[in-house]
Structure 1
């Protein structure tokens, strides 16, 4: 058997004990059968005592075949040559080598058995004391056939075990790959949900933050402005709840069942930002309708650009340009001027969130659409967000 860590063979189980006992009994039965055969034939002398002792030792040594299969098989070659009754133990040792060691070991020991037992015994012993009823060719044939048959049987068992082991490994590998694919799918789904929640809720919540901050900084504002800001806050909160319900519905509904915004909804998005107090200009140069997936990505780009401008450059003018044609692609650009004063968070709200998370998600979305995304500050201190998306002809 193959050794375990530390050079020691693994502990025998019930099946291993059963196999060892059966092979030991087969080796003993082989010796007993040939011994009885010689006693039944008066023309042949009985096996000498030293031959029986060697046979008993060879059968007992089979209990070590799991630890030293090659060494035991080699040691039994001369033993079985002089003690015919030990040939059964020799075949068991050869069978063990064929199963648990490379083929070259089994082939070498098999050749040694044939040469030693058939050659030396037949040529030496039979020329000195040739049995009248046993021809020389029978000894050669019997030794070669039994040895080769045992090696073939051992190789068959070895390949069967290797096949079963490879099947178990393939099954385990397939199970691992399936688990990894499931985890990867869950990871992609979570990323998609995170991008969707950021794109949908970030726009609404930024409106709430701007108008709530205005109410906090100007408690003495005219009642008309307070009422208008409160109406925007109420409407934005209502829309945020609606968007949150849609995002949660995506988790429960099949993919693609819920409606998603397209480029046709861009005017409504700009109007909503204008109602919140932003100065947004929109220019569209499109020869016709844009494909759904491309339009949805363009909508999310503009939405993210307006949200960032509202948070980081409040009060500045924002320009949105959308242009393209089939075959040339769709270009979306959102740019704003430099803010007069850097935005400050309302008192008691803590430090502002780390910037850039929305752009990271937006870059992933554009990359999935096989597009390009550029963003950065302009020479005048403003900011520009520009993306190109493929538009099939």
Structure 2
């Protein structure tokens, strides 16, 4: 428990540091540069640099100048990493040629990290080319000895730099890859949310407009002979329009994470949906068994697929069509079947795979490992849509 609490604290602390860095990058860069500048000056004026130098007689003023040249450019390392590395390489070249061999030369790894983080991979070759001359000059001038003991060799000078360069490059590439993965995850989530909203808008607008169209057609014919039925049709149009507006507002409010969302439609709303389709002029018989416990998302999937199937029947089945909706619940799955039939062979309906409606139904079913089968009846007198949605507490 203590380890978990400590890791959470560290994550929160790192998150705050990253947030501060994002909000005030200049302050962070100045702080880092100042910290390393103080360390370099302490090393230069205190004589600590002599423990790793090949020539301890290098003037102190030159050591101070070289240290400053190796750390002050760090302030611009994120904005211009290649230019910073080039400037630092000049100071590192003088350090190697003079025999000072300052440890501040390792500061070159900071711009190397940012090159790997923000530049194309080939830029690392240019960075390696900038680091090579100082190491070559130092190795040629002092091939057999450096440091306070007079021991060592060129390999002990070059190999640590090679390892450090490799680690800095790998760290930059790793952080870059993780950032790109996070960006891709955000983009995928945004695309999925756009698709979800598009499906909701299609289902809401398509269904309600189809119902309103049916009611308007019926009201137009009834206006001449049965004014009371025309008035009922107008009332139904007004009710359907208000429902459509309410659902659209709910979908649009979903774009605001702080908004209070109204409940999504579920299986309990199917009778009202069917009544609305009947009012629009499509005879519908229903057989809906008692529902087991289904998640809100699964219920919304069933509701939207039934809604889309009824909308298609209302638009394509013809005036003499009859539609049956059955909803059955087995231990392993929930099955919804919507069948539209006509007395004579119906006009060709959209084939499976055409239009946004069928594609949207398939996508909704796939989200819950369901299967959707739709197509004409064998005798050509109708169309059937069958959804099988596995129970979440049963094996897939």
Coarse TM-score class (shorter-chain normalised): 0.5 to 0.7
Pick aligned residue for 2:139 from 92, 98, 104: 92
- Alignment map for 1:368-387 (pairs within 5 Å): 368-381=367-380, 382-387=382-387
Pick aligned residue for 2:308 from 304, 307, 311: 304
Task: Name structure 2 gaps, 5 residues minimum.
Answer: 1-81, 101-127, 348-352
Q: 1:251–1:306: structure 2 CA closer, same or farther, 3 Å change rule?
A: same
User: Is the contact made by 2:266 and 2:303 (CA closer than 8 Å) also made in structure 1?
Assistant: yes
User: Is the contact made by 2:278 and 2:284 (CA closer than 8 Å) also made in structure 1?
Assistant: yes
> What is the SS of the residue equivalent to 2:99?
helix
Match in the other structure for 2:92: 19
Match in the other structure for 2:234: 230
Deviations 1:275-302 (A, max 9, x none): 2222000012347554544333222221
User: Is the contact made by 2:334 and 2:389 (CA closer than 8 Å) also made in structure 1?
Assistant: yes
User: Is the contact made by 1:375 and 1:386 (CA closer than 8 Å) also made in structure 2?
Assistant: yes
TM-score normalized by the length of structure 1: 0.61
Match in the other structure for 2:212: 208
Supply the distance in 1 between the matched residues of 2:318 and 2:141 (Cα, whole angstroms): 88
Q: CA deviation at 1:205?
A: 1.4
Pick aligned residue for 1:324 from 329, 338, 350: 329
Deviations 1:112-148 (A, max 9, x none): x88xxxxxxxxxxxxxxxxxxxxxxxxxx99xx9785
Deviations 1:361-382 (A, max 9, x none): 1111111111111000112321
Q: CA deviation at 1:266?
A: 1.3
Q: CA deviation at 1:259?
A: 0.7
- Alignment map for 1:1-393 (pairs within 5 Å): 13-26=86-99, 91-93=138-140, 148-214=152-218, 220=224, 222-253=226-257, 257-286=261-290, 288=292, 290-315=294-319, 316-326=321-331, 328-338=332-342, 356-381=355-380, 382-391=382-391, 392=393
Supply the distance in 2 between the matched residues of 1:169 and 1:313 (Cα, whole angstroms): 59
User: Is the contact made by 2:286 and 2:325 (CA closer than 8 Å) also made in structure 1?
Assistant: yes
Supply the distance in 1 between the matched residues of 2:371 and 2:378 (Cα, whole angstroms): 21
Task: Name structure 1 gaps, 5 residues minimum.
Answer: 1-9, 28-64, 74-88, 96-112, 115-140, 344-353
Q: CA deviation at 1:93?
A: 3.4
Supply the distance in 2 between the matched residues of 1:309 and 1:248 (Cα, whole angstroms): 28
* Residues paired across the two proteins, number: 275
Q: 1:163–1:356: structure 2 CA closer, same or farther, 3 Å change rule?
A: same
User: Is the contact made by 2:203 and 2:304 (CA closer than 8 Å) also made in structure 1?
Assistant: yes
Which structure's CA Rg is the greater one? 1
> What is the SS of the residue equivalent to 2:337?
strand
Match in the other structure for 1:52: none
